[in-house]
Structure 1
Amino acid sequence: MIKEFREFIARGNVMDMAVGIIIGAAFTAIVSSMVDDLINPIIGLFTGGIDFSNMYLVMSGNVPDGASLQAARDSGAAVFAYGSFLMAVLNFLIVAWVVFLLVKAVNRARDMAIAKKEEEAPAPTGPSQEELLAQIRDLLAARAA
C-alpha cells in the first residue's frame, strides 16, 4: 500500500495539482488584497461608505429600532438578512471582475511573449508554395510529353 501511495504522489498530475493549489492560495491573497485595499475604498468614496450588511427585516420577535443585525440575531428574533446577501453578491462581483482583469492581463502578456518569439524565429528558407506547385506542374508536363 505504501508503494501505491508513493506512485500516486509521484505522478505528474498530482504534483501539478499541488502546485496549482499553492499558486491558487497565493493568487487568493493577491485578489483579496486588491479588492479590500484598492477597489473597496474607491467604491466607498462613491457610495458614501454605505454598508448593506446590517440591513434586515424582522420576521418575528422584538428587536429595538436601530439594532445591529448581530444584536437582532442575539435577541432570538427571526430576521430576513437581505443586506448580508447583497454584500456577498457585491463582493463576489467585485472579486470576479478583479480576477477577470488579472487573467486578461496575464493572457495579454503571454500573447505578447509568443508574438515576440514568432518575430524572432527565422523565416523558413526554400521555395514558396507557388514555386513548388510550378515545379510539380512542370514535372507532370514533362512526364506526359
Structure 2
Amino acid sequence: MGMISEFKAFIARGNVVDLAVGVVIGAAFGKIVSALVDGIIMPVVGLLLGGQKFGSLAITLREAQMDAAGKEITPALMLNYGSFIQTIIDFLLIAFVIFLFLKAYNRLQAPKDEAPAAVPEDVLLLREIRDSLKK
C-alpha cells in the first residue's frame, strides 16, 4: 500500500475528524475562558489588590537608564509575574471545565448492566454433581 493511500485511509477514519473538531472547539472554548478571566475574574482580583490591573504586576529587576536629556538609553528589566499568574488561572479553569465535561460524558457512557453470561455446560454439570453428593 502506498503512502498516499495509507494517508487517505488514516484521514477517512472517524477518529481523525472527531479530533480535528475537538481541537477547533477547544480553541474557541479557550478564547471564551480567557475572556472570562480577563474581563470578569481578574478585575475583581485587581480590586481586591487595591485597584491595580493584575496583568501589569511586575518586579523591577533593573531600572531604566536615562541620559542627561531624559531619553531612555536602556529599558527597565521587568519580571512580569501578573500575566503569568493570569495564564495559570486560564489553564486551571479550562482544565476544570474539561474535567466536568468528561465526568458527565463518562457517566452517560457507563456500560449498561447486561444479562449475565450463560454458564458453560461443564460448570452446570459440576454443580449438579456437587448438589447430588450433598444429598
TM range (shorter): 0.5 to 0.7
Q: Which structure 1 residue ranges, 5 or more long, are not aligned?
A: 64-74
2:78 match: 79
- Report the AA paired with residue 62 of structure 1: A
The equivalent residue for 2:128 is 135
Whole-angstrom distance in 1 between the partners of 2:60 and 2:22:
43
Pick from 37, 54, 57 the counterpart of residue 52 of structure 1. 54
Q: How many residues align?
A: 119
Distance 2:44 2:85 in 1: 17
Letter in 2 for 1:52: F
Pairwise CA RMSD of aligned residues? 4.0
Q: Which amino acid aligns with 1:105?
A: A
Q: Judging changes above 3 Å, is the alpha-carbon distance between structure 1 residues 83 and 123 closer, same or farther for their aligned structure 2 residues?
A: closer
Matches within 5 A, 1:8-47: 8-11=7-10, 16-30=15-29, 32-33=31-32, 36-37=35-36, 41=40, 43=41, 47=45
- TM-score, L = length of structure 1: 0.56
8 Å contact 1:61–1:78 — kept in the other structure?
yes
Q: Greater strand share, 1 or 2?
A: 2
TM norm structure 2:
0.59
Q: Determine the structure 1 residue equivalent to 2:5.
A: 6
**Equivalent pairs: percent with the same residue?**
23
Q: 2 CA distance for matches of 1:31 and 1:128?
A: 57
Q: Which has the higher contact order (CA 8 A, sep 6+)?
A: 1
- SS of 2:75's partner is coil
Deviations 1:29-64, CA, capped at 9 Å, x for gaps: 2354356449x73x458634764210112222339x
